[in-house]
Amino acid sequence: MNLIKDFFNDITKENITNGFVAFLFAVTGPVAIMLLVGTKTSLSNQELSSWLFGAFAINSVISIFFSFWFRQPLVFMWSIPGIILIGSSIENYSFNEIVGTYLVTGMFLTFLGLTNILNWINKKIPIEIVMGMVAAIFLQFSLNWLYSLKETPLLSGSMTITYFIIYAFPSLQRIMPPLLGSLIVGVLIILNSNHAEIFNNLSLSPIMPTIFKPEFNLNANIELVIPLAITVLFIQNGQGLAILKSAGHQTRIKPFTVACGIGSIINSFFGTVSSCLTGPVTGIITSDENNKNSLKVSDANKLLGQERVEFLVKKHGKENFLEALKDHKVKTIIKGHYTSGIVFSLLCITFGIFSPFFTGFISSCPPGFIASLGGIALLIVLKNTFIAAFSGSFSLGALVSFLITMSDLVFLNIGSPFWGILGGLLIAKIYEKNNI
């Protein structure tokens, strides 16, 4: 009961707003990316719904537990680079073999979280090499968005123009996230076209999750487990930990990694890619415009009472009092961040339970709708990936990693993402060894 009482004492309208905005972000672009990959499989809508159930509902239960335990906004979702990585390999293996790689990755992450090996791995694998591999995979999917502009110019073009118009005006972004605006315009166009019948067969029935049986393929594990673990540890978790630290929270790498491992193991049986600490969502739920506002002595009157405030100002001086007030305000805001994570997680649990409705809708839409929404969602992520890959000390290794991954090279029945990282590391060791 104390947990619930503390939650209602700590929550503010800003926390609720941030949690809701983060939820809107999570259920637009990331879902479109996941289902974009899902269209490359022969899975049914029911089976695809299990992906979303694991990604949103199961991960959110873990998020609520850790957020309450550490009193931090610890939101665990699923790895976008991870699902894109799977999309590049899904045609080479059965889906049950892919599920096997999820399970092995989860056990590997749990093992790493219980040991001190993470620091050693961090020193041995430059992040630029990893980002070169990820950039190649992202680019392959982003190009589908450009192809859709030719195939469905009205639908894809309208969605694209809407996104960039909203993105150009920060005042509009506060009212409507660009990606959400793009989605709404796409839906309106579909409603006014001959595709409107897709809405007739949709229902809000809760999910009956599909349980997948993992199968273990050595080549699949060699190709995917290490890259999947790297995307979790150094791309997703790296972002999340940096954002938490900048927001004033203490970061704990080992227990957070164990949480990712446990989440990955559980979610593997629902067909969901590896769990990770969120980056953009964490940024949204820890954002606070009030910190930018100037503070006045009168701001403390409701908290301490006017007489007490006047006494403290007289005793310590106005400037010192304002500094103490600012420090108190920041600590109070940071203390309540976890409530945003819980609001977000509760909304995501609801979304996961009713995931058949959303998968039924998106998978029934024209291919140009999914390609456009996924490509637009990846646009800023792709830009940041290229910057991270080619602006550091291992740009040549990153380029080799990028090119090998783009080539779709298969050697010893192992796909290009593995060889991309290996080739990039080799080049970096030989030609950029002075940077290591």
pLDDT, one tens digit per residue, over 376-387 is 777 776 787 788
β-bridge mates for residue 78, sequence order: 275
If phi > 0 it is left, if psi is from -120 to 50 it is alpha, else beta; for residue 71 that is left
What is the reported pLDDT for 262?
93
pLDDT above 60 for 223: yes
* Residue bearing tokens 């393929």: 217
Q: pLDDT higher for 370 or 258?
A: 258
pLDDT of residue 264: 94
Q: How high is the pLDDT of residue 295? A: 47
pLDDT tens-place string over residues 82-126:
887 887 778 788 889 999 999 999 999 999 988 877 767 666 777
Token look-up 């983060």 returns 22
Residue predicted with more confidence, 153 or 388: 153
Find tokens 């940071």 and name the residue. 334
Give every CB contact of residue 137 below 8 A, 6+ residues apart in sequence.
Answer: 81, 84, 85, 87, 88, 405, 417
Tell me the DSSP string of 284-298. HHT--GGGGSPP-GG
Distance between CA atoms of residues 392 and 429, nearest Å? 15
SS3 217: coil
What are the tens digits of pLDDT across the range 152-181?
A: 888 888 888 988 888 888 777 777 778 778
What pLDDT is recorded for position 290?
Answer: 43
What CA–CA distance (Å, rounded) separates 139 from 215? 29
Enumerate residues 6+ apart whose C-beta is below 8 A from 41: 48, 90, 95
pLDDT, greater one: 146 or 3: 146
Contact residues for 394 (Cβ-Cβ < 8 A; gap 6+): 126, 128, 129, 424, 428, 432, 435
How far is CA 55 from its chain centroid?
10
pLDDT digits (tens, 9 = 90+) for 271-288: 998 898 887 778 778 765
Contacts of 299 (CB under 8 A, 6+ apart): 325, 329
Token output for 52: 């979303």
| 165 CB neighbour count, 10 Å cutoff | 14
Kindly report the CA angle at 232 between 123 and 223, in degrees rounded to 5? 85
Q: Which helix (H) or strand (E) element contains residue 276?
A: strand 275-277
Tokens 């809405």 sit on residue:
199
